[in-house]
A and B are shown apart, each in its own frame.
Chain A
Amino acid sequence: MDALMQFLLSGMTVGAVYALVALGFTIIYNASDVVNFAQGEFVMLGGMITVFAHAAGLPLPLAALIAIVLTALVGVALNKLAIEPARGAPVVSLIIITIGASIVIRGAAQLIFDKQLHRFPSFSGDEPIRLLGAAILPQSLWVVGGAFFIFIGLWVFFTKTLTGKAVLATANNRLAAQLVGINTGWVMTLSFSLSAAIGALAGVLVTPITLVAYDVGVGLALKGFAAAMLGGMGNPKGALVGGILLGLLEAMTAGYLSSQYKDAVAFIVILAVLFAMPQGIFGAKRTERV
């Protein structure tokens, strides 16, 4: 029983990170139909920039803020330099462009920073909190809380504000959105920066637990992608549920089977989803009108 509780807690923590990555996928996918495989690099940049800004003597909150802003700018640059010039190319080409961009960002991070593993201190110390016979790090609460906060923030943004609705309209029909006066180019820029900022925030929150290095982005992107697929690509609720579910599955596998198979879970999930229910848990069935 204690073990189960422990697995649940650690699964929630990891799952919250996957959910944040999946939310990043969702935002860009909604605005452009592109699955942005550089999403994991945003997480890495968030962690790495915070580490180095903190090491340079800045207080942690300021370092984190700088990391989030800089990463958002990288997201905008990705859109302006790589995606926008290829506008009109098939979506598959755009997805391959994002894979290329992720390699570039990773290489640049290796050059600018280094190849070491890094961390910075936890926000509220490292004294584990006892909870129903299991232990949880205070930083885990930060991660889970952060994921829920972002999720609710996004929900309010997309359902209550005109700007958020403009993004949804663009997702629904780009040309129709332009016809009613929505600047769809700006919507794309906004989506990339928002997505990058959320990725960076995930990096900031999780680095004290999992550490960060220039190459952590690949794994996170794949896990986040699996989570988004599981929940239903393009649905924020799906991203949250898919992320947490995947985290729990991983933790259970590591706990009850073998931690060797932990990373295989994400890929089994991708395959199972594609075979059994390609639209995911919350994904709408798509019918093309002819």
Chain B
Amino acid sequence: MTLLQVEGLGISFGGLRAVNDVGFSASAGEIVSVIGPNGAGKTTLFNMISGVYLPDRGRVMLDGQDVTRFEPHLLARMGMTRTFQNLQIFQDMTVLENVIVGFHLAERGHLLADLLALPGTKRRSAEVREKAMALLTRVRLDKAAEQVAGNLSYGALKRLEIVRALAMSPRVLLLDEPAAGCNAVETEEIDAFIAELAATGIGILLVEHDMKMVMRISNHIVVLDHGEKIAEGKPDEVSRNPEVISAYLGTVDAEQDEQDEEDEKEATHAVG
């Protein structure tokens, strides 16, 4: 069953077509990876799907409903959320509080009951605390629960961001370079964790530079280069595709390509 469907998505910044006519789909429990050289438009594509950028062209369908141009908070309520390559953490809150915020949609209570701190409110808070701790334990952050998030290492914050997203019980989860900046052991852990999540039926969309990881855990791979989809398919198909190999390793006119990439990087940087 198709959970997320992306059709002909495109956006231009000034005259530059950062992403052009990209489409693919993801089902429940499937891990779909988006790969491509630096500046290929992977993060821009993610930003459009998750409502951070408004696409110029194309559609995003979530469970058959058109959610193009929906704001991130609405998408979160509909079961789609994401993590960021450069982290979006509540730095001044504790680690536990960060996860508890993720539960807030489920924690809806009456304003009056909250104000009076009625037993129902207290019970709900205690339950949420417990669930948040359970999530933290899964990524070995339970010992750091009471620390201010800003003090944690980059790798730990990456894991924290993922469990905060999980607190919302999403149906579709977009992970932007979850293993970036993590060491080999941490990468392997995240790797196993993502596979575990997919096994519970969450559709996962992944941008990752670690090719070994991508090839190991993906069900389906979409390859972008210069904002266009140049290939898609199963990991072993994609890794043998000559176009993909040339995008990564360069061809005879590689120097020109590199120049283009630089331009694109600058352009996406300017708007990001």
Contact = CB atoms under 8 A, between A and B. Distances in A.
B150 interface: yes
Contact size range, B: 20 to 34
B73 A165 contact: no
Contacts of B84: 175
Contact of B168 (A161, A165, A176, A180): A180
- A-B pairs, top 10 by smallest CB distance, nearest first, are A181-B76, A178-B72, A176-B88, A172-B90, A161-B114, A181-B105, A178-B73, A175-B88, A183-B73, A181-B77
Given A178-B72, A179-B72, A181-B73, A173 B90 contact: yes
B102 interface: yes
Contacts of A176: 88-90, 164
Contacts of A266: none
A173 B89 contact: yes
B115 A180 contact: no
Contacts of A166: 104
B144 interface: no
**Chain A binding surface SS class:** helix
Contact of A163 (B92, B111, B150): B111
A287 B151 CA distance: 11
A74 B107 CA distance: 32
Nearest to A284: B92
A179 B105 contact: no
Interface in A153-175: 156-157, 160-163, 165-166, 169, 172-173, 175
Contact of B114 (A162, A173, A184, A185): A162
B93 interface: yes
A180 B102 contact: yes
A180 B132 CA distance: 14
Nearest to A163: B111
User: Chain B CB within 10 Å — which of A163, A178, A180, A183 has the most?
Assistant: A180
Contact of A161 (B81, B111, B165): B111
A179 B165 CA distance: 8
B251 interface: no
Contacts of B108: 162
A130 interface: no
Contact of B71 (A163, A169, A178): A178
Nearest to A187: B73
A66 interface: no
Contacts of B109: 162
B88 A172 contact: no
B254 interface: no
A181 B117 contact: no
Contacts of B89: 173, 176
B139 interface: no
B150 A289 contact: yes
A162 B88 contact: no
A135 interface: no
Interface in B146-205: 150, 164-165, 167-168
B113 to A, nearest CB: 10
Interface in A125-173: 156-157, 160-163, 165-166, 169, 172-173
